[in-house]
Amino acid sequence: MDLTTLSILIADDDNGDRMQLKRVLKKSGLPCEISEASDIKEALVICQDKPLDISIIDYQMPGQNGLEGIKALHALFPSMSIIMVTGQGDEIIASEAIKQGASDYIPKGNIDAQAIRRVIENALEKKKLLQKIEEQQTDLKNFAKVLVHDLKAPIRSLNSLVNFLKEDIQEGNQENILEGCQHITKTTRHLSALIDTLRDYTEADKQVEFETVSINTVLQTILEILNVDIKEKKAQITFDPCPEVTGNTPLLTQLLQHLVANGIKYCEKDTPTLHVSADKEGDAWKFTVKDNGIGIPKKDLKKIFAPFTRLHGSDQYSGTGLGLATCKKIVEKHGGKIWCESKENEGSTFFFTLPKE
Ligand code: ADP
């Protein structure tokens, strides 16, 4: 059985109706593996035995009301799409069925290959959308949880720094006052950076205009933006001639700027060395940003793209943990993928793809 084959259950007490549905399903051209049940009890047993994509249930079956059957199946197998077969003109029942968890309904008299294909495709599309919404809700919940924690930490720290400062002022301890003020400046800078990156992260979701973007020009801009960091760390940044792509200039600048800035930041060598290049890979361009920095442990290579994930404390390297999560959003918005390969103490290579069209 290949992965796209759908496992479909037909639950109907009428042998003739089951045969007709089977024939129509075969004619629809949808690759499917069909199981049959003559009542809800049997349907429940089959569903328990193997995961099913779709069940097509007749509303009128002996022993159990079709709506109760749908409710029971949906409660036990929420990821299975349920299509109810109703009598002609049973719109009220159909809307009840949808309330109980059915994805769609099809009147018995209207069943033909085209109609069944349409109703199944709609049910699968609906399932995909619901899964996406669920994933986004989980993401949002996690995001809000970490956000509250990460914003609260510097605010709490500012609060205690101000209290210490009050004591130092009362005692007239000039040295401590100066040190306290420096800590406060550092913490407010961190808070401000956190808010800026948070804005970048959420803005990466916005609708933007796509145009032809010269990555060579983007890289030149980045060298200017990062000029101070490059000089301070004596970094050497080189790049091969890069192509033009279709995308959004500010977002692609943000993406490459972040990867290059990280390459400079997470490096303890005397000369941080970075190289940016691009190669054709099928219908896409594959970009590579290679550094000679501290590297990333293998077990963390996927984790670093999640929001607020930091492998080091702020006392070691400044940051917010939102940069790579923003990069991921930007790349995905452009229809590409991003990943990283790395060797600890030798360096990391970040790859991302952008479709040629
Ligand atoms: P930030 O730099 O603000 O902490 P990022 O999302 O950019 O957040 O990166 C997440 C984590 O991944 C960083 O805290 C760091 O531990 C690690 N990291 C990112 N880029 C590199 C790199 N080029 N070399 C080594 N570690 C890196």
pLDDT digits (tens, 9 = 90+) for 1-18: 344 799 999 999 999 999
Asked if the model's pLDDT at residue 356 lies above 90, the reply is no
pLDDT in tens, 86-142: 876 678 888 888 888 899 999 888 899 999 999 999 999 998 898 889 888 887 887
Ligand 1: centre distance to CA 177 (Å):
33
For position 204, what pLDDT does the model report? 85
> What mean pLDDT is predicted for residues 318-325?
90
| Confidence grade of residue 308 (pLDDT, cut at 50, 70, 90) | confident
For position 2, what pLDDT does the model report? 43
CB of 323 sitting under 6 A from ligand 1 = yes
How confident is the prediction for the chain on average, in pLDDT?
91
> What mean pLDDT is predicted for residues 69-88?
88
Q: Which element (helix H / strand E) includes 68?
A: helix 66-76
- On the CB side of 258, CA atoms within 13 Å amount to 25
Instruction: Tokens 């401000």: give the residue.
Output: 192
Closest Cα partner for 238 from 262, 255, 250, 222?
222
Report the length, in residues, of the chain: 357
CB of 310 sitting under 6 A from ligand 1 = yes
pLDDT in tens, 164-200: 999 999 999 999 999 999 999 989 988 898 888 888 8
CB of 319 sitting under 6 A from ligand 1 = yes
CB of 262 sitting under 6 A from ligand 1 = yes
pTM over 0.85: no
Any idea of the CA torsion for 318, 321, 326, 328, to the nearest 10 degrees? 120
Asked if 236 and 301 touch (Cβ cutoff 8 Å), the reply is: no
For position 237, what pLDDT does the model report? 97
Q: What are the tokens at 331?
A: 């790349």
> What mean pLDDT is predicted for residues 233-241?
97
Could you give the CA distance from residue 76 to residue 55 in angstroms, rounded to a whole number? 13
| Confidence grade of residue 53 (pLDDT, cut at 50, 70, 90) | very high
CB of 291 sitting under 6 A from ligand 1 = yes
| Confidence grade of residue 146 (pLDDT, cut at 50, 70, 90) | confident
